[in-house]
A and B are shown apart, each in its own frame.
Chain A
Amino acid sequence: MSRSEERSSGAPTAPRAIVAGHAEFAAGLVSAVQQITGRGDQLIPVSVAKLSVEDIEKLLRTRMQEANVRVIFTDLQAGSCTMASRRILRGMDDAVLVAGANLPTLLDFVFAEGRSPSEAARHAAERGKAAITAHGAGGEGA
């Protein structure tokens, strides 16, 4: 990694993953990551409104190739972006899709600069799952 790709903190600034989902899901999450950490530039938000399945796949594939990334975060198991990503990742052994991503997932990912992007994505998926809790109404989290 060149010096120009690093901040003074050592965090990578080159994109490391795509974020895609319904409506403004991706832009919203990436803006939140940027506001909280200043590391939003590791994530490329992709919006797919109005696109056909074929065009969603083309767009995601193009963004991945342009940025040379192998990680995709999506919002919903059944979502069109998830379906398209599964098609793209077919046969790409070094690529990872994380479906059901949330803000804690992405925060963990952008701070995992010591891991490869695929390792960071798998770790982030676990952190994202663990970050969901319910409070109140007599539950354990109350």
Chain B
Amino acid sequence: MTLELYRIDDRLIHGQVVVGWGQPLDIGFIVLVDDAVATSDWEQELYRMGVPPEMEVYFHTANDAVGVLAKYRADPRHGLLLTGDIATMRRLVDNAGVRAVNVGGIHAGVGRTQRLRYVFLSLDEERQLRELGTRAEVTARDVPGARPVSLNDLLAGDEP
């Protein structure tokens, strides 16, 4: 099989990922790419506790992930890759051949303004997403049943 989804979601592993995407895509493993989580045993245990026993979670820093994505793409199970921010996904797009990116959740925060129900961006994050869009197909979709939102519509705050 392959990695079915490359998702930016600042909540990382949570209900929409494990249940919302995990069940319809029959996800057998999650690759969580986050420098802070990859260096904290406690954080890793926390996220492992959130997934069902049949689902595995692998943790990598952004640097490590570039070198191991080929292995995950060759895994016979269906997988899903998560990053918590745009910059980390950008590194995978530039260096590991990611060609389609799902913006699944960037939530309210200081300096961010709302674009979609589940996407809030600062001006710098907007710039990062525009650049990402020149290198990969970027769409927003929180759950599989929702219609994908194009990058232009996302940035315009135009949610169908």
Q: A51-B107, A55-B107 are in contact. Are A80 and B46 (CB under 8 A)?
A: no
Report if B73 contacts A (CB, 8 A): no
List CB contacts (< 8 Å) of B85-140 with chain A.
Answer: 107-109, 114, 117-118, 120
CA–CA, A61 to B75, complex, Å? Answer: 40
Query: Does A105 lie at the interface of the complex (its beta carbon under 8 Å from any beta carbon of B)?
Result: no
A83 touches B50 (CB 8 A): yes
Residue of A nearest to B47 (CB): A83
The answer to the question of A67 belonging to the interface, with a C-beta cut-off of 8 Å to chain B, is no
Is A77 in contact with chain B by the CB < 8 A criterion?
yes
User: Bound complex: CA of A3 vs CA of B14, how far in Å?
Assistant: 42
In the assembled complex, B155 has its CB within 8 A of some CB on chain A? no
A53 contacts B50, C-beta separation under 8 Å = no
A: interface residue count bin: 10 to 19
Q: Tell me if A53 and B11 are in contact (CB < 8 A).
A: yes
Residue B4 CB within 8 A of the other chain: no
Known: A22-B15, A53-B12. A77 touches B108 (CB 8 A): no
**Complex: chain A residue closest to B55, CB-CB:** A78
| Contact flags B8-33 to A (C-beta < 8 A → 1, else 0) | 00111111011100000000000000
B1 surroundings in chain A (CB, below 8 A) = none
**Does A79 belong to the interface (CB within 8 Å)?**
yes
Per a CB cutoff under 8 Å, which of A50, A76, A83 touches B107?
Answer: A50
Q: Are A78 and B107 in contact (CB under 8 A)?
A: no
**Between-chain CB contacts (< 8 Å), 27 pairs:** A50-B107, A50-B118, A50-B120, A51-B107, A51-B108, A53-B11, A53-B12, A53-B107, A55-B108, A55-B109, A76-B19, A77-B49, A77-B50, A78-B17, A78-B50, A78-B51, A79-B50, A80-B11, A80-B15, A82-B50, A83-B11, A83-B13, A83-B47, A83-B50, A86-B49, A87-B46, A90-B42
* A positions within 8 Å CB-CB of B: 22, 50-55, 76-80, 82-83, 86-87, 90
| Chain B residues proximal to chain A, CB less than 8 Å | 10-15, 17-19, 42, 46-47, 49-51, 107-109, 114, 117-118, 120
